[in-house]
Structure 1
């Protein structure tokens, strides 16, 4: 059996972003979902560009952010 860990809320805060990237670099997290329009969105984009092996999907949200 293969388990894939996906980290939710990429883009929410810089702390969340850093934790997701650290977990990815440590080999735990394989993918994340980006919360577009949140305060740390640009930070998440920069980290994503620095970590091209991190797979990124979209986190749909209807009640938070711009």
Structure 2
């Protein structure tokens, strides 16, 4: 049972790390474009807001799982 849980946790951590890296790349790209004088479209702004809300939800779920 413990081995099964460890395998599941490793898989979950790997998936979260991959998602986090992808998110970081998108944020760096947006910041770079804005710093170069670009602007955000309405859709891009909504995407940023949605990403922030999802991140907050994930942090809440992870915090509740660790307690």
TM-score normalised by the chain length of structure 2: 0.28
Which one scores higher on RCO, CA 8 angstroms, separation ≥ 6? 1
Q: Which has the higher strand share?
A: 1
**Structure 1 or 2: more helix by fraction:** 2
TM-score (norm 1): 0.29
